[in-house]
């Protein structure tokens, strides 16, 4: 039985309000993966795209099971699915690592955001809360045995924050008129123009908003 995968993709598109092709979704996830890898802080989650790809993978796996093993395209489809799964898992792992490292600060910031512009997906949020709780319980168990003077852990001692001034490499996806860079060395600010397609090295803080908007890609 021959299955037209294009049909499957088109169906997916109809369900998707933004009418995006699977190819476009894949590119978006690839970009999110690189941004997440290179950004010091956790970025807004891309669960919509990830879930869409996971649906695609599931559909494709179902169809492949029905194809004969000798069909030359089965191998290619399987290989592609493995490649996409690698990107998705690497992306999610990178985010979990950041949640674990910066747990307290991530949760504090998340509390200031509304549900629509939450940075963590519901599942990640649940994980972060449990992780924080477990860490607290663990410290309490140990600190109980410490002399009274040392058996309290205040917020400042627990918190680890990402260094938002850390330097990142980036590529511009479109012309940006003005980016302000704080020069710590000379105690002054510089303003520069980023041209479409140009590549730069600068502190993450200066471009953070553009990374989140998608006009700048970290590389």
Partner 1 sequence: MMHPAEIEFMAENEIIQIVPTFNHASHVHLICGSYGPFRAGLPLNVPIWVALNLRQKKTCRILAPEWMAVDKLQERLEEEKASKFFTQLPTNFYLEITQMLLTVASEDIPQGNDIKTAVKDLWDLRIAKLRSSVDLFIKEGRVQASLNHLTPMEINSVRPIFPDTLDALMTLHEHINSSDDREDSSQSSVATPSSTSFSLSL
- Select from 125, 202, 208, 217 the one that contacts partner 1 (CB under 8 A): 202
Residue 136 burial (CB count, 10 A): 14
CA distances from 110 to 32, 75, 106, 158 (A): 19, 43, 6, 17
Residue 101 binding partner 1, by CB under 8 A? no
d(CA 195, CA 193): 6
- Own/partner pairs, 79-87, CB within 8 angstroms, 24+ separation: 81/57, 84/26, 84/29, 84/53, 84/57, 85/57, 87/29, 87/30, 87/33
Least separation in angstroms between CB 110 and partner 1: 25
**Nearer residue to partner 1 within complex by CB, 13 or 136:** 13
* Residue 75 touching partner 1 (CB under 8 A): yes
Which DSSP category does 39 fall into? -
Which one of 11, 51, 79, 214 is in contact with partner 1 (CB under 8 A)? 79
Q: Does 65 bind partner 1 (CB under 8 A)?
A: no
Structure token digits, residue 98:
């950041």
Q: Among the candidate windows 107-115, 127-135, 141-149, 187-195, which touches partner 1 by CB under 8 A?
A: 187-195
Which one of the spans 41-49, 83-91, 104-112, 128-136 is the region binding partner 1 (CB under 8 A)?
83-91
Supply the minimum distance, in Å, between the C-beta of residue 73 and partner 1: 5
Supply the minimum distance, in Å, between the C-beta of residue 148 and partner 1. 27
With tokens 């993709």, the residue in question is 9
Binding of residue 51 to partner 1 (CB under 8 A): no
State CA 176 to chain mean position distance: 23
Measured N-to-C along each axis, helices 22-38 and 47-66 cross at an angle, to the nearest 10 degrees, of 130
Asked whether 192 and 177 are in contact (CB, 8 A), the reply is: no
- Residue 7 Cβ, how far from partner 1 at the closest point, in Å? 9
With binding defined as CB under 8 A, does residue 200 bind partner 1?
yes
Q: In whole angstroms, how close is the CB of 80 to partner 1 at the nearest point?
A: 5
How far apart CA 101 and CA 108 sit, in angstroms, is: 14
Among 61, 199, 209, 213, contact with partner 1 (rule: CB under 8 A) = 199
| Contact indicator for 3, 63 with CB cutoff of 8 Å | yes
What is the contact surface with partner 1 in residues (CB under 8 A)?
Answer: 2, 4-6, 9, 22-23, 26, 30, 37-38, 53, 56, 60, 72-73, 75-77, 79-80, 83-84, 86, 90, 163, 165-169, 181-187, 190, 192, 198-203, 219
């Amino acid at each position: 039985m021959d299955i037209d995968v294009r049909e499957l993709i088109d169906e997916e598109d109809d369900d998707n309000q933004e009418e995006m092709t699977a190819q476009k979704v894949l590119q978006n996830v690839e970009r999110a993966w690189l941004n997440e890898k290179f950004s010091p802080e956790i970025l807004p989650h891309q669960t919509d795209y990830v879930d869409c790809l996971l649906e695609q993978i599931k559909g494709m796996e179902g169809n492949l099971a029905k194809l004969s093993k000798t069909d030359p395209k089965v191998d290619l489809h399987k290989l592609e699915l493995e490649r996409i799964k690698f990107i998705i898992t690497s992306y999610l792992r990178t985010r979990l690592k950041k949640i674990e490292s910066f747990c307290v600060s991530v949760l504090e910031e998340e509390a200031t955001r509304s549900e629509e512009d939450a940075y963590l997906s519901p599942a990640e949020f649940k994980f972060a809360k449990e992780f924080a709780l477990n860490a607290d319980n663990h410290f309490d168990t140990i600190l109980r045995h410490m002399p009274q003077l040392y058996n309290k852990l205040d917020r400042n001692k627990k918190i680890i924050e990402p260094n938002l001034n850390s330097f990142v490499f980036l590529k511009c996806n479109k012309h940006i008129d003005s980016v302000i860079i704080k020069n710590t060395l000379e105690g002054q600010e510089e303003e520069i123009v980023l041209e479409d397609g140009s590549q730069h090295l600068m502190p993450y803080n200066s471009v953070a908003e553009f990374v989140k908007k998608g006009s700048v890609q970290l590389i």
